Amino acid sequence: MKVKSRSKNGIAKVKLLAKHPMHTGRAKDADGNLIPAHHIQTLTCEHKGKVVLTADFGTSVSKDPYLAFTIKGAESGDVLKLSWVDNLGESETVEATVG
Amino acid sequence: MINRRKFLTVLGAASPVVAALMAFPGTVLAWAENAFKATSVEDAEAALFPGSQAQPSGQVKLKAPQIAENGAVVPITVSTDLPDVSNISVLVEKNPNPLCASFKIDPALQPEISVRIRMGETSNVIALVEAGGKTYQASQEVKVTIGGCGG
Amino acid sequence: MALVFAALANAGPDEDRQALVNYFQQRSPDINFESYIDGAYIYDEDARQQWLDLEDFPPYEFDLEEGEALFNTPFADGGSYADCFENGGIAIRQNYPKWDRENGRVVTLELAINECRERNGEQPYPWKKGELASISAYMAYTSRDEVFAIEVPGDDPRALAAYEQGKQFFFSRRGQLNMSCSSCHLEGANVRLRAELPGPALGQVTHFPVYRAKWQELGTLHRRYAGCNEQVRAMPFPAQSKQYRQLEYFQTYMSNGLVVNGPSSRK
Amino acid sequence: MTRLMRVFLLAIAMSGMLVACSKQDATEAFAPATIEQSVADPDTGLPEPDVPALLKQAETLRLQAAELGHEWSNHGPTILAAREALAGGDTGEANRLASLAVLMGEQSVLQAKTEAGRWRDAAPE
């Protein structure tokens, strides 16, 4: 996961790109076999120990999902904790410092 | 176009501190399987917001292209000036499963979300906003062409 | 179209380049020369907005990260990519393709990368995507804003011949559809072909390698060439074939004076 | 799809001619879009076709075009399809495809020769 975040007047814009194939379960591989669905289900953003965003994804979110949102009351130096979990139980968590 | 220097500054401003596979926090609510597996906008909406009928609202702003550059990556932004927003959801009417993404919005968040979605064909894109216990919507048609060439 | 298509009698590469600049200047007086690095996105605002949205956090960022890591990983024999290139391989994209006087051939950046690997006892990477594209993307990235300065040495007639052959390739119609590169990207630039809006020949290669939404991954210029040839039902040439290297030589020379802005995202 | 493609082909061929072929002789110009129609009706009462000979001719032309850098990507597959039709006993279809392949070969070689003398005219001055 790559995160870019910058705060101005206590309002932090957060952008992220999560590396994930986001297989829909409808596409076929080179041999004509269905590629099973493999997609992020839930992505969360925590700020000061509180979940401020819960994003639920289906299979129609693009490969390597991109998300942008804005947190009120987040200053430079604050740490954000971003996590995702997918339908196969894989997950990733990163911490990013607001710039 | 972002030039190299600007780009580096932006990156430097938000260096990820930790990047490791970790146990997922157990505090999240369950993924709304019924809503995501629904095959019509109506069913998805009913699963997301039981008993609520979305009203068209000029206060829901949906930013989407007229003609998608490529259906695999369609940038969408939903924002609203409605008060007490608790959820923003994005649906594509003609996708096999219309619900793309559903965001639970905390009061600490500005009600504005950008996301990149997939579209199989030309379709209405629908933004649903739950605010103050009611549901509002805005929609826009996005054309998807079968591209052959392109840069 | 009032343009004059006539034989270039004694014109050299720089006259060709000036003619191309003038051609687009006359067709689109309101578009600045510098803007041509953005390809077809200078013509269509709706498409441009989507592209800018993508470039805001571009899908090739993971490839850049991979490319940088690969570039900085020493070979088993202790050598490195940095040893193979001038300035340690940083900010040099604008000088490729180069004329290789010793061997009388055009050397593209990708060819130089793989030959560097081979000199250090490593296997070459596949040409069209994957590691090679990532390394090339990283090297382009370190060269952003550098001005293309391709040279066709006047004292080596073989260099001019290679350039001329690349030029001939660009203007020759091929395939069952009987179309040349110029059909779409000179005459056809900013003209809708079905749902497509071909980009201009000027500045056409400044942004490679590209992450195409159609590919869902990063790919090299020669991968794109092969796709273009297939689209007009012409048999594509192999990546890094003499034909494609010469075409890249001509096309990049035509981008002289513009800045490197690769890698980039495309539809 | 095929129909759309033909319209597209015609449009391209026409625009190409308008823009770049003004100096070309009518005999030199060719319109690839009309190829399929011109060989679509093999039942002309002519003597029994020698499909293997046609295939040999098509293959020679394909190699010649490739040597000149102007092989068409659908030429090889057309020859292959003709061979398969012949092997499957469908002489009519084999003849149609083999004749098409010969024509494609002639056209691609002609394209190579025409372009070698024409390409400079397409460059802006």
Kindly state whether A29 is in contact with chain C, defined as any CB-CB distance less than 8 angstroms: no
* C5 falls within a domain: no
Give the pLDDT of residue B148.
46
Domain membership flag for residue C168 = yes
Q: Which of C117, C141, C165 is a domain's end point?
A: C141
Q: What is the CATH number of the domain that holds A74?
A: 2.60.40.10
The overall average pLDDT reported for chain A is 94
pLDDT over 80 (residue D40): no
Q: Where are the domains of chain B?
A: 32-144
Say if C169 falls within a structural domain. yes
Report, as an integer, the average pLDDT of C85-110. Answer: 98
Sign of CA dihedral B150, C1, C7, C13: negative
**CATH number of the domain where residue C100 is located:** 1.10.760.10
Nearest chain B Cα distance for residue A82, angstroms: 10
pLDDT in tens, C24-73: 999 999 999 999 999 999 999 999 999 999 999 999 999 999 999 999 99
C 146-185 residues with CB < 8 A to B:
184
Element of type H or E holding D78: helix D75-87
Q: What pLDDT shows up at residue D47? A: 64
Q: Which chain C residues in 198-257 lie under 8 Å from chain D, judged by CB atoms?
A: 229-230, 233-237, 243
Average pLDDT over residues C228-241: 96
pLDDT for C98-148, tens place per residue? 999 999 999 999 999 999 999 999 999 999 999 999 999 999 999 999 999
In terms of domains, do C50 and C134 share one?
no
Question: What is the reported pLDDT for C156?
Answer: 95
- Separation between Cα atoms, residue B103 and residue B110, nearest integer Å: 12
**Residue C178 tokens, joined:** 């009987």
Number of domains in chain C: 2
What is the C-alpha to C-alpha distance for residues A2 and A17, in angstroms, rounded to an integer?
Answer: 5
- Known catalytic residue at C228: yes
pLDDT at C236 over 60: yes
User: Domain check: are C175 and C232 in the same one?
Assistant: yes
Q: Is the pLDDT of residue D76 over 70?
A: yes
pLDDT bracket for residue D125 (50, 70, 90): confident
What ipTM does the predicted assembly reach? 0.81
Catalytic residue among C84, C116, C184, C228: C228
pLDDT at D38: 46
Of B93-107, D15-29, D109-123, least confident by mean pLDDT is D15-29
**In this predicted model, what pLDDT tens digit does every residue of B2-60 receive, in sequence order?**
444 444 334 333 334 333 334 444 444 578 889 999 999 999 999 999 988 899 999 99
- Specify the DSSP class assigned to residue B24: P
**Nearest CA to CA, how far is C4 from chain B (Å)?**
26
Q: Which residues of chain A neighbour B77 with C-beta distances below 8 Å?
A: 68
Interchain touch D–A (≥3 Cβ pairs closer than 8 Å): no
**Quick check: D124 and C20 CB within 8 A?**
yes
**C252 and C168 share one domain:** yes
Q: Is residue A51 a contact partner of residue B28, using CB atoms and an 8 Å limit? A: yes
Average pLDDT of chain C?
93
Give the pLDDT confidence score for residue C36 in this predicted structure: 96
pLDDT at B19: 36
pLDDT at C120: 97
Q: In total, how many domains does chain A have?
A: 1
d(CA B116, CA A60): 9
pLDDT of residue B17: 37
User: What is the pLDDT averaged over residues C228-240?
Assistant: 96
Low-confidence ranges of chain A (pLDDT < 70): none
What pLDDT, on a 0 to 100 scale, did the predictor assign at position C196?
Answer: 77
Domain that holds residue C47: 13-56+153-266
Q: Residue D28: its pLDDT value, please?
A: 43
**Between chain A and chain B, how many beta carbons pairs sit less than 8 Å apart?**
157
Confidence at residue B29, expressed as pLDDT on a 0 to 100 scale: 56
At residue A8, the pLDDT reads 93
Buried b or exposed e, range C40-49, using 16+ CB within 10 angstroms: bbbbbeebbb
**B32-144 is a CATH 2.60.40.2470 domain:** yes
Q: What is the pLDDT of residues A24-42, one digit of tens each?
A: 998 888 888 999 999 999 9
Q: Give yes or no: residues C67 and C137 share one domain.
A: yes
Do C122 and C225 lie in one domain? The reply is no
Task: Give the DSSP letter of residue B61.
Answer: E
At C158, the pLDDT band (50, 70, 90 cuts) reads very high
Query: According to the model, what pLDDT value does residue C16 have?
Result: 94
Give the number of other CB atoms < 10 A from CB of residue C18: 13
pLDDT tier at D122, thresholds 50, 70, 90:
confident
pLDDT of residue C193: 74
Q: Do B150 and C267 touch (CB under 8 A)?
A: yes
pLDDT band per the 50, 70, 90 thresholds, residue D124: confident
- Within-domain flag for C134: yes
- Ordered by start, the domain boundaries in chain D are 2-122
pLDDT of res. D61: 97
DSSP per position, A9-62: TTEEEEEEE-----B-S--B-TTSPBPPPB-EEEEEEEETTEEEEEEEE-TTBP
Does residue C6 lie in a domain region? no
D111 touches chain C (CB under 8 A): yes
